[in-house]
Amino acid sequence: MKKWYLSTWFIALLCCFATAVVPLIAAVILLLIRYSAEKKEYAEQARQDQEYQLLRQQHDSLESQYQHLQSQQDNLQQSRDTMEHQYKLMKNEHHMMRVAYEQIDPVERQRLIQEYEHHKQQLIELNDELLMQEFGLYEPLYDLATSEAYKYRLEETRDQQKEMVRNKQAAAFREAWTVNGSEKEGKKMMNDLIKLFIRSFNNECDASIIKVKFNNINSIENRIQKSYDVLNKLGAMNGISITPTYLNSKLEELHLNYEYEKKKQEEKEEQARIREQMREEAKALKEIEAQKQKFEKEENHFNQAIEALRSKMQLENAIEQEKIQRKLQELEAQLAQVQHAKEDVINRERNTRAGYVYIISNIGSFGEEVYKIGMTRRLEPLDRIIELGDASVPFRFDVHAMIFSNDAPALENALHRRFTNHRLNKVNLRKEFFHVTLAEIEEEVRKNHNEVVQFTKLAEASEYRQSIQEEDIAV
């Protein structure tokens, strides 16, 4: 409540005596006090308004939650009523089935149980077969050597189908048929129906075969069989049906087409492997040629220097000749080293099977005890390791062994055969990764390689370990 001395009339009264200094000063002070009091009052009013708005929002939120919960309660009640109704229906159905079951003759009951178990076993076997196909474990029916052989066999199968259609062996039909008493009209109608049936079946087969993959070939086969059954059922009244021979030919085309596409992919991967091998060979030959030129240049340099010293030695006195002789011996020793290195490079060029078998790992990319066993003919084999860890994997490879062999492919193949059951990728053999211990690899290397090989047991994996540390610090 506002004080009486802060009221407007009292301050106005003091202002009337403004000619006297004291009333004027008192009026100003009272105005300031009044302003301060009104400011506090307004601030308090604003705070109360804000609290009111907050409480109002909380009230609206609680009201909304209450409505939502009420709606959920109503839905749950409806679901409960529905489930109780379904339970009563199922209970009644169970009772009726029980009564019907008790009325079945015991012998017939036992027969039905055995038939059920038989169908159940067949279903399990089909499911197992489908599961194996989903994981790519498809057993080839033809297993031809090349994609061209599959292509030729496919063309033969399709030609046989065309021949069956021309000879009216693709569909069975009723011979005697008349329309309006005319056998000619009846024969024409029958031919049209046969064409329609065969065309429908071919279209369904073609649309299905084009979609075949490693994980759906079983379902595609069932789809063709179902189309065959449906069409024959529709044509039963008119005596028309697709022959089993024509159906089998279509199923043969399905499997041939799938294996043809698979073989083409295998050949494509093999061609990629050969191209990669050719690129690797080209790089190796380029390195060998560069090294040969380098050593020939050094050899020529040493020969010129030796010839110059020998010419100079004839013009010097005995003391200088002794110094030049020592220098000649040094140059001749260096020349011999260069010639020996040059001979090694020439031997590597002649021996196309000489190279390095490397054992490398990448813990950050593939985990513990996973090793890549590969081969390179490079003079600098570490260049190949750097290429492998360049962009295809997040971390660099660690080298556990670098084994020079005069028959590197044989050593590599021996290791691959020994650990074939430990391959990570058992389908694409270009992926040379094996889940095996380093001790097992070392033991096998010593069996197939006479010279002593130094193995590095610990994988440094510096980038990976530093990345783990950085992640722990960030957390």
Mean pLDDT taken over the chain = 80
| 392-396 contacts at long range (C-beta below 8 A, 24 or more positions apart) | 393/362, 393/365, 394/364, 394/365, 395/362, 395/363, 395/364, 395/365, 395/461, 395/463, 395/464, 395/467, 396/362, 396/463
Please report which confidence band the pLDDT of residue 21 belongs to, taking 50, 70 and 90 as the band edges. low
Cα gap 354→381, rounded to integer Å: 12
* Residues 338, 384 within the same domain: no
Bridge partners, 182 (sequence order): 179
pLDDT at 372: 93
pLDDT digits (tens, 9 = 90+) for 295-336: 888 888 888 888 888 887 777 777 777 787 888 888 888 888
* Both tokens assigned to 405: 């062999």
Cα gap 31→11, rounded to integer Å: 7
* Residues 344, 366 within the same domain: no
pLDDT at 121: 62
Cα gap 470→217, rounded to integer Å: 48
Domain-terminating residue out of 299, 334, 350: 350
Cα gap 419→417, rounded to integer Å: 6
HEC string of the chain equals CCCHHHCHHHHHHHHHCCCCHHHHHHHHHHHHHHHHHHHHHHHHHHHHHHHHHHHHHHHHHHHHHHHHHHHHHHHHHHHHHHHHHHHHHHHHHHHHHHHHHHHCCHHHHHHHHHHHHHHHHHHHHHHHHHHHHHCCCCCCCCCCCCHHHHHHHHHHHHHHHHHHHHCCCCEECCCCCCECCEHHHHHHHHHHHHHHHHHHHHHHHHHHHCCCCCCCHHHHHHHHHHHHHHHHHHHCCCCCEECHHHHHHHHHHHHHHHHHHHHHHHHHHHHHHHHHHHHHHHHHHHHHHHHHHHHHHHHHHHHHHHHHHHHHHCCCCHHHHHHHHHHHHHHHHHHHHHHHHHHHHHHHHHCCCCEEEEEEECHHHHCCCEEEEEEECCCCHHHHHHHHCCCCCCCCCEEEEEEEECCHHHHHHHHHHHCHHHECCCCCCCCCEEECCHHHHHHHHHHHCCCCCCCCCCCCCHHHHHHHHHHHHHC
Q: Considering the domain boundaries, does residue 138 fall inside one?
A: no
- Most confident listed range (183-187, 291-295, 342-346, 374-378): 374-378
Q: Considering the domain boundaries, does residue 94 fall inside one?
A: no
Q: Considering the domain boundaries, does residue 274 fall inside one?
A: no
Q: Work out the burial of residue 16: count CB atoms within 10 Å of its CB; fewer than 13 is exposed, 13-18 middle, 19 or more buried.
A: exposed
Please report which confidence band the pLDDT of residue 467 belongs to, taking 50, 70 and 90 as the band edges. confident
pLDDT at 130 exceeding the cut of 60: no
Greater confidence, 211 or 22?
Answer: 211
Q: What is the mean pLDDT of residues 119-134?
A: 53
Greater confidence, 36 or 254?
Answer: 254
Nearest CA to 136 out of 215, 220, 219 is that of 215
* Residues 320, 219 within the same domain: no
* Residues 393, 453 within the same domain: yes
Cα gap 406→408, rounded to integer Å: 6
User: Can you tell me which residue has the tokens 């053999």?
Assistant: 429
Domain-terminating residue out of 321, 350, 379: 350
pLDDT digits (tens, 9 = 90+) for 181-238: 777 777 788 888 888 888 999 999 998 888 887 677 888 888 899 989 988 888 888 7
pLDDT digits (tens, 9 = 90+) for 39-56: 888 888 888 888 888 888
> Taking the model in full, what pTM does it have?
0.48
Greater confidence, 4 or 423?
Answer: 423
- Cβ neighbors of 409 (< 8 A, separation 6 or more) are 353, 355, 375
Cα gap 142→128, rounded to integer Å: 22
* Residues 377, 361 within the same domain: yes
* Residues 466, 366 within the same domain: yes
* Residues 368, 433 within the same domain: yes
Nearest CA to 372 out of 438, 457, 427, 421 is that of 438
Domain-terminating residue out of 350, 370, 394: 350
pLDDT at 435 exceeding the cut of 90: yes
User: Can you tell me which residue has the tokens 């407007």?
Assistant: 8
Greater confidence, 383 or 107?
Answer: 383
φ, ψ at 118 (rounded to 5°): -65, -50
pLDDT at 391 exceeding the cut of 70: no
Neighbour-count burial for 114-128, b at 16+ CB within 10 Å, e otherwise? eeeeeeeeeeeeeee
pLDDT at 473 exceeding the cut of 70: no
* Residues 332, 380 within the same domain: no
pLDDT digits (tens, 9 = 90+) for 50-104: 888 888 888 887 888 888 888 888 888 887 888 888 888 888 877 777 777 677 6
Largest CA distance in the chain: 140
* Residues 284, 385 within the same domain: no
How crowded is residue 384: how many other Cβ atoms within 10 Å of its Cβ?
21
pLDDT at 465: 82
pLDDT at 159 exceeding the cut of 90: yes
Number of domains in the chain: 4
pLDDT at 135: 45
The parent domain of residue 427 ranges over 355-474
* Residues 440, 366 within the same domain: yes
Q: Work out the burial of residue 474: count CB atoms within 10 Å of its CB; fewer than 13 is exposed, 13-18 middle, 19 or more buried.
A: exposed
Greater confidence, 260 or 474?
Answer: 260
pLDDT digits (tens, 9 = 90+) for 236-283: 887 888 999 999 999 999 999 888 888 888 777 777 766 776 677 777
